[in-house]
Structure 1
Amino acid sequence: MELHAVKASYARWAPVYDRTFGAITSVGRQRAVDYINDLTAEKILEVGVGTGLALPNYRSDLKVTGIDFSEEMLAKARAKVETLGLDHVQDLRQMDARTLDFPDASFDVVAAMHIISVVPEPERVMAEMARVSRPGGVIVITNHFARETGLLARIERIAAPFANLLGWHSDFEVSTVLGQPDLSVIEQNSLPPAGMMTFLVLQKGK
């Protein structure tokens, strides 16, 4: 997707995101945060933090930084942090995920929940997430990936030309996120609803 389309899409969705896409993706988001909370980790980066739906669920001793390109989404995330007193959230910053403004090996865990099929140049975003992960750290992804066969695969192909309007790529291939040479898959599972979402954990080589 083009950056202007992403910006316009999420400005449009921000007021209703929690009740629409946020509700549909809640299982994947909770699965990702539960996994992160079970790790021996301290510094967490959430790429595409959106309206901050996951922020209240992180362990209170973690140090969470969130970034998003959409100021409208970030405004809602900041309101959640203030209203709920989320002291474990260290920073929420407007940022392009293709050029993360953090040094190499800054984070124990990088999370990307339902955003990798939205961003422009997803391969470049994956490279940046790998760069800011420490050696031995993990990247936790939840996302919809295209199916190869069946009715849903046909629906995904039909919807693909409307990516800019929908705000995501219905025909997004999992191979797009698996091309980083320093990352290896350590977990990959299907998630509800109807196995449409995938939970994926990649580990950076030590």
Structure 2
Amino acid sequence: MKTDLDHATVQEAYAGWAPIYDIVFGAVFEPGRKAALRAAERIGGRILDFGVGTGFALPAYKRTNRLVGVDISEPMLRKAHEKVAKENLTHVEGLCLMDGAHMGFADNSFDVVMAQFVITVVPHPEETLDEMARVLKPGGEIILVNHLGAEDGPRAVFERWFARRARKLGWRPEFQFARLHNWAVRNGSVDLPVKRDVALGMYTMVRFRKRTEAEIAAMSESVALAG
């Protein structure tokens, strides 16, 4: 069984989704998007919309924010460029074709990193989260909203069974919250994730706050003293 996604699979899948993505997923994902946008705009500032796709969410951001979108799919980004031009989205600074695990931004570039329905479909989730944390300013937040896999029970069994078929669609239905928690522990630059169900439990919003240098130093000192 193919256990993970690669760039070619993701790019092929989303090239196919690009012409119909907004129609198929717009209404389905809207409650989760709205919850994530509310969380992001409580912080505001310069926001990285990671996995911006067709730019479906861009018009919903307040114009007081500054937005940069990145995606691995060129066909999806073409749709986003069209949307920015058609709707005169002047708060969008740029749209970039990038591998999320190797982004070309300086450290501490963004107040918020938003990833809507994307962390379970990128080829390398942990490396991508490392990059999100790197480009995030101290005190800022990574905000994810996604379907996350069940930990046990009939749904977990089905998601594991469906995983092989879902790879061709560019999905990981079995991706669980524990993987995000374990990443935060290993990374060390963010607080442990806070999660809550949104859209009647259909999706989960997960938030990571990036620690300041002083907080990281204090924690390191505490660990050293305890040792």
> With structure 1 as the length reference, what TM-score do the two structures score?
0.94
For the aligned residue pairs, the C-alpha RMSD in angstroms reads 1.3
How far residue 144 of structure 1 moved from its aligned partner, in angstroms, is: 1.3
Matched, 1:197 2:200: no
Q: 1:165 aligns with which of 157, 168, 171?
A: 168
How far residue 182 of structure 1 moved from its aligned partner, in angstroms, is: 1.2
The count of aligned residue pairs is 204
Match for residue 78 of structure 2? 75
Question: For the structure 1 residues 164 and 186, does the alpha-carbon distance in structure 2 shift closer, same or farther, using more than 3 Å as the test?
Answer: closer
Contact 1:122 1:176 in 2 (8 A): no
Q: Deviations over 1:154-205 (max 9, x none)?
A: 221111112321211010122222313111146311122x513101111000
- The structure in which a higher percent of residues are strand is 1
Contact 1:66 1:92 in 2 (8 A): yes
Distance of 2:61 and 2:191 partners within structure 1: 25
How far residue 47 of structure 1 moved from its aligned partner, in angstroms, is: 0.8
SS in 1 for 2:18: helix
Match for residue 24 of structure 2? 20
Give 1:1-206 correspondences, 5 Å limit: 1-39=5-43, 41-178=44-181, 179=183, 180-185=187-192, 187-192=194-199, 194-206=200-212
- The structure in which a higher percent of residues are helix is 2
> With structure 2 as the length reference, what TM-score do the two structures score?
0.86
- Answer with 132-141 or 21-30: which moved more: 21-30
Distance of 2:95 and 2:45 partners within structure 1: 17
Give the letter for the 1:17 counterpart: Y
Give the letter for the 1:139 counterpart: I
Unpaired runs of 5+ residues, structure 1, are none
- Answer with 62-71 or 29-38: which moved more: 29-38
SS in 1 for 2:86: helix
Q: Percent of pairs identical after alignment?
A: 40
SS in 2 for 1:20: helix
Question: For the structure 1 residues 97 and 78, does the alpha-carbon distance in structure 2 shift closer, same or farther, using more than 3 Å as the test?
Answer: same
SS in 1 for 2:168: helix
Give the letter for the 1:125 counterpart: T
Distance of 1:71 and 1:10 partners within structure 2: 9
SS in 1 for 2:191: strand
How far residue 7 of structure 1 moved from its aligned partner, in angstroms, is: 0.3
Give the letter for the 1:4 counterpart: A
Q: Deviations over 1:137-160 (max 9, x none)?
A: 100000111112233222211111
Runs of 4+ off more than 4 Å? none
Unpaired runs of 5+ residues, structure 2, are 213-227
